[in-house]
Amino acid sequence: MIIAIDGPAGAGKSTVARILAKKLGFLYVDTGAMYRALTLKILENNVAISDEPRINALAQKVRIDLRNNADGSLSVILDGRDVSLEIRQARITQFVSDVAKIKTVRQVLVAMQRDMGKRGDCVLDGRDIGTVVFPDARKKFFIDASKGVRVDRRFKELKGLGQDVAINDVEKDLSNRDKIDSTREASPLRCAPDAVYIDTTGLSIEQVVDKMLGFIK
């Protein structure tokens, strides 16, 4: 069974997706982490974000694995190396939306995501899971929240990772990514017509997870 979770940055998708997957005993696939891992590879190879032919060449040969750990955390493995922390850095966040709008990059990563979904019961989160990657997913959710709450959540998350960020910069980054993710030509962020829309603005993580479980069972 596939559970698709989409929504904008900072809405709390990954947190609830991870908890839901653990509760259900499903595999958790963080598709945003895959776009981030490829972005890291591009920067490490000194390839310009505008150089689509070289980016496509890197995308064709990249190996990205997602490991679900026993404690519920996720390890992101890029070509055999654990990059779970590195992909959360500001330099990756700054460029990832530009990488994610390249059509051929999306084709390669979507194919990987579909393969992962074939391994068994799966919760996937991203921007296009219910609309493009698994349009036939058994359950689809669109997780949203007000802009202010999303900025606040992302700010706290980055602080929790030990990053010295200013809330103004988080706000700017979120607005910029919202714009690129929802206006790009290839698979823009959309709520699938058959998705359950949940506004998490005034809700705790537990309340959101309970709501979702209610729709799944």
Does 84 engage in binding with ligand DC (CB under 6 A)?
no
Nearer to ligand DC, 31 or 84 (CB): 31
With CA atoms as reference, report the closest residue to 65 among 81, 89, 86: 81
Does 35 engage in binding with ligand DC (CB under 6 A)?
yes
For residue 31, give the 3-state DSSP assignment. Answer: helix
With CA atoms as reference, report the closest residue to 158 among 90, 56, 68: 90
> What is the Cα–Cα distance from 109 to 18, expressed in whole angstroms?
20
Instruction: Write down the H helix ranges in 122-204.
Output: 147-160, 167-183
Does 9 engage in binding with ligand DC (CB under 6 A)?
yes
Q: Which of 18, 41, 127, 140 binds ligand DC (CB under 6 A)?
A: 127
The strand pairing partners of 126, in sequence order, are 6
Does 32 engage in binding with ligand DC (CB under 6 A)?
yes
Nearer to ligand DC, 12 or 26 (CB): 12
Does 7 engage in binding with ligand DC (CB under 6 A)?
no
Does 100 engage in binding with ligand DC (CB under 6 A)?
yes
Contact yes or no for 37/62 (Cβ under 8 A) = yes
CB within 8 Å of 64: residues ≥ 6 apart: 34, 37, 38, 76, 77, 78, 109, 112
**By CB under 6 A, which span of 31-39, 43-51, 143-151, 202-210 interacts with ligand DC?**
31-39
Does 181 engage in binding with ligand DC (CB under 6 A)?
yes
**By CB under 6 A, which span of 49-57, 122-130, 134-142, 143-151 interacts with ligand DC?**
122-130
Does 31 engage in binding with ligand DC (CB under 6 A)?
yes
Binding residues for ligand DC (CB under 6 A)? 9, 31-33, 35-36, 96-97, 100, 126-128, 177, 181
